Amino acid sequence: MKKRQRTFIFGDIHGCLDVLIRLMEKIDWDPDRDRLIYLGDYIDRGEDSRGVIEYLLALSETAKNVDYLMGNHEAVFLDFLSGVDTRTFLANGGGSTLYSYGFQYGSGKGTDWGNRIPQEHLDFLKSLKPWVELEDYYVVHAGMRPGVALQKQSLEDLVWIRDPFILSDYDFGKRVIFGHTPYSEPLIMDNKVGLDTGAVYGNRLTCLELPAFRFHHVEA
DSSP sequence for 22-56: HHHHHH---TTT-EEEE-S--SSSSS-HHHHHHHH
Q: Encode pLDDT of 118-133 as tens digits.
A: 999 999 999 999 999 9
The pLDDT, as a whole number, for residue 71 is 98
Q: Encode pLDDT of 42-83 as tens digits.
A: 999 999 999 999 999 999 999 999 999 999 999 999 999 999
The pLDDT, as a whole number, for residue 80 is 94
Distances (CA, A) of 127 to 5, 136, 163, 175: 25, 25, 28, 25
The share of the chain scoring above pLDDT 70, in percent, equals 95
Task: Provide the pLDDT confidence category of residue 106 given band limits of 50, 70 and 90.
Answer: low
Q: Encode pLDDT of 168-211 as tens digits.
A: 999 999 999 999 999 999 999 999 999 999 999 999 999 999 99
104 has a pLDDT exceeding 90: no
What is the sign of the dihedral through the CA atoms of 177, 76, 101 and 99? negative
Q: Give CA–CA dist 204/159, Å, rounded.
A: 21
Helix (H) or strand (E) holding 73: helix 72-82
Q: Under a CB-based contact definition with an 8 Å cutoff, are residues 125 and 77 in contact?
A: yes
* Side-chain-facing half-sphere of 156: CA atoms under 13 Å: 1
Q: Give CA–CA dist 179/92, Å, rounded.
A: 16
Q: Give CA–CA dist 56/88, Å, rounded.
A: 25
Q: DSSP state, 148?
A: S
- Per-residue pLDDT, averaged over 154-181, amounts to 98
Domains identified in the chain and CATH numbers:
7-200 (3.60.21.10)
Distances (CA, A) of 7 to 40, 52, 128, 132: 16, 20, 18, 12
- Is the whole-model pTM more than 0.85? yes
105 has a pLDDT exceeding 60: no
Q: Give CA–CA dist 34/93, Å, rounded.
A: 33
Helix (H) or strand (E) holding 156: helix 155-160
The pLDDT, as a whole number, for residue 4 is 81
107 has a pLDDT exceeding 80: no
